[in-house]
A and B are shown apart, each in its own frame.
Chain A
Amino acid sequence: MGEFLEKTVLVVEDERPLLDAISQKLESKKIKVVTARSSEEALEYIAKNTAIDAIWLDHYLLGKLDGLDFVAKLKSKSSKYRSVPIFVVSNTASSDKVNTYLKLGIDKYYTKAEYRLDQIISDLISHLKS
């Protein structure tokens, strides 16, 4: 992977070791990573910056808001991030929550404990390239 993708992914995940693993793996694929551990933090970040090409999102997060609240805000009519692809990677979402995510227009849903990190990242990269 010599080419530089010039892409930025916002990773929203509350578990520090998982956040580290995702960041390292993405960076090793030459992707710029910005991180947040709560929806509030993530919203604050995107309010200031526009250059985000994809979002990696966990469901349960630090703070009051969960992943669904974040997606709802992002996909609202007035949002300029409506078209940014979102990958939800979580262990704890029930099937009705997964359905709500899909209805809100997320691109992919993964169960964390059952997928290789590699697999999710290569899916994300091919999504970014397409």
Chain B
Amino acid sequence: MTKFAQNQSAIIYKLTEQINRLEAKIEEKGKELASAKAKGEAILQSIGDALVVTDQKGTIILVNKAFEEMMGWAEAEAKGKSFMDLVKSEDEEGNKILGAKRKIMIILSGGANYQRSGREAHYYVRRDGTRFPVNAVVTPIIFAGRRLGAVQVFRDITVERDIDRAKTEFVSLASHQLKTPLSVINWYTEMLIDGDAGGLNEKQRRYINEVARGSHRMVDLVNSLLNVSRLELGTFIVEPEKVDLKKIVRSVLDEFKVKIDEKKLKITFVISKSFPKYLLDPKLTRIIVQNLVSNSIKYTSNGGWVKIAVGQVKDKILISVLDDGCGIPAGQQSNIFNKLFRADNARVLDPDGTGLGLYIVKTILANVGGEIWFKSREKKGTNFFVTLPCYGMRSKKGRRELEVVLPH
């Protein structure tokens, strides 16, 4: 063999060896990949929540076992179909939730990077037409800066809802039961104060007045808790009729006249003479106005001022209540609409408050297409804004009206 040939066969041998090694590596990697893929699939399939993956048009690419079981479609049937056509979404009353409002559409159109079910219940309709309350999270699949599709994970929350309902129903029932002994306390303290059982000395009168005050506070609390439970159970009624906001604000101001005079507050109320009547529920509207005005009066010191303005901005009714009161501390502003939350300075100025007023107002507004927000600086004042749609509140059948908590 020539030297050349010797070299050549050595090179070929080495090359073959390399190729074999590479092939072995590829095979090994291939096995790893296949096993990783199988693992990934097994994980997706085994997730207890339903999972669906779509492309950027919303066409289903993949669903897992939980999806198949929850919805009634096999993966083969679901694949290739539009998610929104296949899985219909409804609100509490059974109205269809349409395309643009579906969370998956918001994600696919690039409107957000995360969408999860909110407080209002929504439902998915199964293959057999039955429905269940759902909690869903949708996120986009982003690769190399492009939105390739969306991943949605959802689950049936019937059990959670039943438990929540039972809790709220218990609060409602307990609140009702509390009213009878409270009536006993109220009427008997009233009789004592009126001298029905003989005259009282100064100290006795003072003590019994404290009892009466505590009891009235409890009635307020019970009524507010009942309102919260009716709002949360969705059993409250919305009965729109033509409402004159001018009259409502004036009558609320009349209600607080004693307090306003006592604190020497300067009240201004601006509304155009020709402000039209709108289709609103008078009781709910009153509760909204009453809470805002009551807060302004409570948290503004003697000699201060409150400015109320009602007007129309585009297709919305705007109510603004501005005061030069104690304001909301910056660090506590994000909690102000939370149930039972009270700001530190509010607690000092009005120890009797329930911390439910603004929560109730916000919840009412969320149910009637309105909004609420505020601007505030501590020790400077607060401006609350409420909007209501000019087309009015949508009527809603229910079992219960909300209680009006009377000021005193």
Contact = CB atoms under 8 A, between A and B. Distances in A.
A117 B180 contact: no
Given A21-B188, A116-B190, A96 B182 contact: no
B237 A114 contact: no
Contacts of A114: 219, 406
Given A25-B196, A112-B183, A113-B179, A95 B406 contact: no
Nearest to A28: B196
A28 B198 CA distance: 13
Interface string A1-35: 00000000000000101100100110010000000
B187 interface: yes
B347 interface: no
Contacts of A18: 180, 183-184, 187
A101 to B, nearest CB: 14
B138 to A, nearest CB: 39
Interface in B175-189: 176, 179-180, 182-184, 186-188
Interface in A63-113: 91-92, 94-96, 112-113
A118 interface: yes
A92 B188 contact: no
Given A24-B196, A94-B399, A113 B188 contact: no
B194 A118 contact: yes
Q: Is the interface of A mostly helix, strand, loop or mixed?
A: helix
Interface in B235-255: 237
A21 B191 contact: yes
Nearest to A89: B183
Contact of B401 (A28, A95, A117): A95
B179 A91 contact: yes
A32 B191 CA distance: 19
A91 B399 CA distance: 16
Interface of B: 176, 179-180, 182-184, 186-188, 190-191, 194, 196, 219, 222, 237, 399-401, 406
